[in-house]
Amino acid sequence: MVSAIIGRLSQAFLLLLVMSVIGFIGIHSVGNPVFNLVNAETATPEDIRRATVALGLDQPVWHQYFRFIGNVFTGNFGTSYIYHLPAFQLVMGKLPATLELAIVAMMIAAPAGVLLGLLAGRRKDKPVDRTILRLSVIALSIPSFWLSMMLILIGAILTGWFPSGGRGPTGVFLGTEWSFLTLDGLRQLTLPALALALPNVALIARLTRSGTIEVETQDFTRFCQAKGLSPRRILFRHTLPNISVPIVTIIGMQFGGMLAFAVVVESIFNWPGVGKLLIDSIQLLDRPVVMATLTFISIAFVALNALVDLFYVVLDPRTRRSA
Amino acid sequence: MEQQHHHEPLLVVNNLTLKHQGAAATTTILRDVSLELRRGEILGLIGESGAGKSTLGNAVLGLLAPGFSQTGGRILFEGLALNELSDKQRMELRGRRISAIFQDHTASLDPLMSVGSQIVETIRALDDGLTSRQAKSRALELMQRVGIPDPALRFRHYPHQFSGGQRQRIVIAIALAGRPDIIVADEPTSALDATIQKQILALLRNLTDETGVSVMLVTHDMGVISEIADRVIVMRHGKVVEQGATSSILDMPAEVYTKDLLAAVPRLRLPPASSPTNDVPRSADPQANIVPQTKLDQNPILRVKDVTKTYAGRSFPWLRRGPQSPALRDVSIELVRGSITGIVGESGSGKSTIGRIVAGLETAGRGSLDLNGRQFDISLAGKKNGLLGQIQMIFQDPAMSLNPRMSIGAALEESVWFGSRGSPSDRQDVGEMMDCLGLPRSLLLSFPHQLSGGQKQRVCIARALLANPSIIVADEPTSALDVSVQADIVRLLKETVSERGVSMLFISHDLALVQDLCSEIYIFRDGVVEDAGSADFIFSKSQNPYTRRLIDARPGRFTH
């Protein structure tokens, strides 16, 4: 067990290292941040030179990279060029907004997707199944900016049920501000959460459907029928656990994606989350914030993967070793 | 009270006709089938694949697959016409009145649920009134009943922690949970080793005698029928060929098909029971048991010495439970040129592993292999050890060992190309080979799924021969085939070896088959050679208790 954890940790470490190299080279090649920091109209070449030296941008890339890595080991991601705040603190400040959006979206997507998938799988090739399949193709193929705008059009402009954007009032919990604690906050959350959830409903439903069809052809579900169990019990107590490994895997991956890359939805709904911070920072060439965000995202993915693995072990007795 | 009903049929099938609506055509699966099942009897339904016997079992359970429809006749259970019931009523009959045992004990149980929970959920589904404590104590009682040792501990275990035989016992316990009147047992022992098979059949017989449950036993194996069935129905192409008491069908079959079926079963020919004790027991050392003359006469084409193979555990071997037992330990075998040598053992004995090592498909940790006087490095697999191609394999399931997207002709040509190894003079003619093996040349353009099981296995044999091998390793080549086809294939293998001078390692779990075919036999057990010698020695003289047990375990009264 201990060695498995050590193995996992060293893998994660390697992953972070590779990611940091790619991220660093990437952001380096986008452009020189100095021109965003000095006033391009009035700055003299001397001002630019001094700013460059102050930020350490006169050094070769590998030198800059090693200095960055060295700082990271001391827990310092640098100071944002734009906000003049510690970069990691800035990312953590945006986290609650993203976290609650992703959690609410997944709380809609996972149950809805699984139920629709089970229904479609049980009624294979029947009208219900075909309808679910077609809708899922639509939900997967429409771009998320269009979906977001339609949700705003229908949910906010035409009916006026929900606000069209922004985070609104928040309640304080564990020293941070959360929207889900107030009724208004929940109304603010609804539309962006739906925009994130719908494609995932479709994805999870399709996965569940194909799993259900596969498991239902196996002998043990036939044997369950032969021993007199009701179809509903077979579906929820036998079929569902047996198809849950791929479903939980995809839920984990998609959740990670929501934390990091809900850029379009966060931008359209003006939701102050991590994704929006990342895209803004890339545009402003705010290197410390970009690197801090990327590092956070990598850690989040590694942690989610570990949770999914843990779930396998809890679920499947064959992967457990009795003491 | 039960005695009064004893001779009244519990289940009556009247002129049942069933059709299957396929993508292309509608086929009749069952035609005018009529039968009766009485209380407390075991009724055997026997037939080869495609006979419709399993479909009949499913129809009784009300679990026909989509596409099947009943177009005529009736199934009456205690006078109740089953096809007139609603789905819900059928569901209520299942488990309580009619339950089932399937062939594949591994697939029958949910791998994610402890066996105790699976028994308890069945008990509670069938009897709402029970508390969970009562259900658990009944589950423990059932486990005890079917012969699971230490039920209280085993209750919490998962299916993968049980052996095959024990899993099938659990399946039987679940089938009994609702105290049913009928159990439909579809090939209940076909996936088990002979010794385990015998125990499970005895258990079924006891349960029938004690509880008065009726069993509809669907099987392809005459041995199983002769072991426990009271009456037999012989089926072919969806029709009943013949029915009657087991003894009369076995001893005096009226129909030609039944006679053929009986004749096709490989039988053990044993000397009178007294003979083993008349001979002086040979040395206990298995190597010394090999009849000496073969060693002197011929120089073996293949000599495998002291092969040891251990399967690596998971990626963290130091975490495994207990010491790991090797798959093979110091195994030595010899194969005489132009002969067939049998390797016999139960599952897990290492018999297939040695075959795969000889063929170069697997590596071994230690040991040497000498083919035609040349040494090969068996710690290397595949091309590296140079064995590949000189030894060809025939696998158990022909359907799975042919590429479904490759025509028969293309598959055989590939083998010719491979076998000639660049020199045109060594090329064999595909057409001639097909004639020899009784395959019509018109099949060259066909694809595997268009062939019958027997034809596919012939193609596999042709494919092996066309590669010009020195040795053919045949791993259970007839186990996936019907008995009548099995007999043809065995004859074909025999002819091939005698006419072409190929040598063959024949791996099987079936002693009777090996007796017909092989001159030398090695008996494998838990990765070691337990017993070895000429066929004659093994069957009549060997004193090895394990060998004796294997010979005795074969079901059926064919030995008389």
A5 contact B CB<8A: no
Beta pairing partners, B312: none
Domain that holds residue A47: 2-73
Question: Do A230 and B91 make contact, defined as CB atoms within 8 angstroms?
Answer: yes
Confidence tier at B161 by pLDDT (50, 70, 90)? confident
Which tens digit of pLDDT belongs to each residue from A115-170? 999 999 998 888 999 999 999 999 999 998 999 999 999 888 888 888 887 777 67
Q: What is the pLDDT of residue B315?
A: 40
Whole-angstrom distance, CA of residue A53 vs CA of residue B349: 74
Q: Which residue has the higher pLDDT, A55 or B433?
A: B433
pLDDT at B11: 93
Specify the pLDDT at position B242. Answer: 92
Same domain for A121 and A246, yes or no, is yes
Residue B426 has pLDDT above 80, yes or no: no
Residue B109, min C-alpha distance to chain A (Å): 5
Helices (H), chain A: 2-30, 34-37, 45-55, 61-73, 87-122, 127-141, 144-151, 183-216, 219-226, 231-233, 240-261, 263-268, 274-283, 287-315
Q: Is A217 at the interface with chain B, CB within 8 A?
A: no
Domain boundary at A14, A43, A73, which? A73
pLDDT of residue A87: 86
Nearest CA in chain B to A244: B112
- In whole angstroms, give the CA distance from residue B137 to residue B119: 11
How does pLDDT run across B348-401, given as a tens digit for each residue?
788 888 998 898 888 888 888 888 888 888 887 766 777 777 889 999 888 888
Q: Which one of A2, A214, A223 would you mutate to disrupt binding with B, by most B Cβ within 10 Å of its Cβ?
A: A223
Q: Give a yes or no: residue A254 inside a domain.
A: yes
- Judge whether A136 lies within some domain: yes
Interface list for chain B against chain A, based on CB atoms closer than 8 Å:
61, 63, 91-92, 94-96, 99-100, 102, 104, 107-114, 121-122, 125-126, 158, 160-161, 171, 174-175, 177-178, 184, 316, 318-321
Q: Using the beta-carbon criterion (under 8 Å), do A317 and B112 form an inter-chain contact? A: yes
What letter does residue B111 receive in the DSSP assignment?
Answer: T
Nearest residue of A to residue B104, measured between CA atoms: A219
Inter-chain contact B94–A227, Cβ cutoff 8 Å?
yes
Cβ burial of A13 (10 Å; 0-12, 13-18, 19+) is: exposed
pLDDT at B559 over 60: no
- Distance CA(B280)–CA(B560), nearest Å, equals 25
The per-residue pLDDT for range B103-130, each reduced to its tens digit, is 888 889 999 999 999 999 999 988 878 8
Is A82 a member of any domain? no
Query: Of the given ranges (A57-66, B220-229, B452-461, B502-511), which has the lowest mean pLDDT?
Result: A57-66
For residues A244 and A277, membership in a common domain is answered with yes
Q: What is the DSSP string of A183-225?
A: HHHHHHHHHHHHHHHHHHHHHHHHHHHHHHHHHHTSHHHHHHH
pLDDT for the residue B292: 40
How far apart (Å, rounded) are the C-alpha atoms in residues B454 and A76? 72
Same domain, A115 and A48: no
pLDDT digits (tens, 9 = 90+) for B30-61: 999 999 999 999 999 998 877 888 889 999 99
Q: Looking at the partner chain, which of B96, B107, B184 has a beta carbon nearest the beta carbon of A219? A: B107
Is the pLDDT at B5 greater than 90, yes or no?
A: no
Task: For residues B238-246, give the mean pLDDT.
Answer: 92
Other beta carbons within 10 angstroms of residue B514's beta carbon come to 26
Q: What is the ipTM of this complex?
A: 0.76
Global confidence as pTM: 0.75
Same domain, A102 and A204: yes
- Distance from the Cα of B477 to chain A's closest Cα (Å) equals 25
Q: How confident is the model at residue B424 (pLDDT cuts 50, 70, 90)?
A: low
Are A249 and A285 part of one and the same domain? yes
Residue A174 touches partner B, C-beta closer than 8 Å: no
Task: Please give the share of chain B, as a percent, with pLDDT higher than 70.
Answer: 88
**Co-location of A60 and A130 in the same domain:** no
Tell me the pLDDT tens digit for each residue of B9-36. Answer: 899 999 999 988 877 778 888 999 999 9
Residues A39 and A140 in one domain: no
Residue of A227, A231, A318 with shortest CB distance to B111:
A318
Structure letter (DSSP) for residue B560: -
Give contacts of A1 with chain B, Cβ < 8 Å: 319
In chain A, which residues have their Cβ closer than 8 Å to the Cβ of B319? 1, 3, 321
Tell me, what's the pLDDT at B7? 59
B107: nearest CB among A3, A220, A241: A220
Q: Do A227 and B160 touch (CB under 8 A)?
A: no
Task: Return the amino acid letter for B195.
Answer: T
Q: What is the mean pLDDT of residues B432-437?
A: 86
Q: Do A226 and B121 touch (CB under 8 A)?
A: no
> Angle formed by the axes of helices B164-176 and B194-211, to 10°?
20
Tell me, yes or no, whether A195 lies in a domain: yes
| pLDDT tens digit sequence for B463-505 | 998 888 889 999 988 887 887 788 888 888 888 888 888 899 9
- Classified as helix, coil or strand, A196 is helix
Domain match, A140 and A224 both = yes
| CATH (residue range B9-263) | 3.40.50.300
SS3 of residue B352 by DSSP: helix
State how far the Cα of B251 lies from the Cα of B245, in Å rounded to an integer.
Answer: 10
Contact B102 A218 (CB under 8 A): no
The answer to the question of residue A81 being in a domain is no
Cβ atoms of residues B68 and B57 within 8 Å: no
Q: How far is B173 from chain A, CA to nearest CA, in Å?
A: 11
Contacts of B388 by beta carbon, 8 Å cutoff, 6+ apart: B360, B382
A102 & A250 share domain:
yes
A residues 222..261 contacting B (CB < 8 A): 222-231, 233, 237-238, 241-242
Mean pLDDT of B452-456: 85
> Are A101 and A30 members of one domain?
no
Ranges in chain B annotated CATH 3.40.50.300: 9-263, 293-310+326-390+471-560
The model's pLDDT over A246-287, given as tens digits with 9 standing for 90+, comes to 999 999 999 998 888 788 888 888 888 888 888 888 888 888
What integer best gives the mean pLDDT of chain B?
A: 83
Which of B21, B112, B117, B316 should we substitute to test contact with A (largest number of A Cβ atoms within 10 Å)? B112
Question: Which residue is it, tokens 């009247």?
Answer: B14
Q: Rounded to whole angstroms, how far apart are CA atoms B158 and B198? A: 24
Residue B160: predicted pLDDT: 85
Per-residue pLDDT tens for B249-303? 988 899 998 988 888 777 776 665 444 444 444 444 444 444 444 444 467 889 9
Number of domains comprising chain A = 2
CATH number of the domain encompassing residue A231:
1.10.3720.10
Contact B125 A219 (CB under 8 A): no
In the CATH scheme, what is the code of domain B293-310+326-390+471-560? 3.40.50.300
The verdict on A61 and A103 lying in the same domain is no
Least confident of B236-245, B312-321, B419-428: B312-321
pLDDT score recorded for residue B433: 87
Burial of B4 (0-12, 13-18, 19+ CB in 10 A): exposed
| Helix H or strand E segment including B38 | strand B26-38
Interface test with A, best of B97, B110, B126 (most A CBs within 10 A): B110
**Which of B110, B121, B184 lies nearest to residue A220, judging by beta carbons?**
B110
Q: Smallest Cα–Cα separation from B387: which of B364, B361, B421, B412?
A: B361
Q: Which residue among A220, A225, A229 sits closest to B109, beta carbon to beta carbon? A: A220
Residue A79: inside a domain: no
Distance of residue B513 Cα from the nearest chain A Cα, in angstroms: 30
Same domain, A115 and A32: no
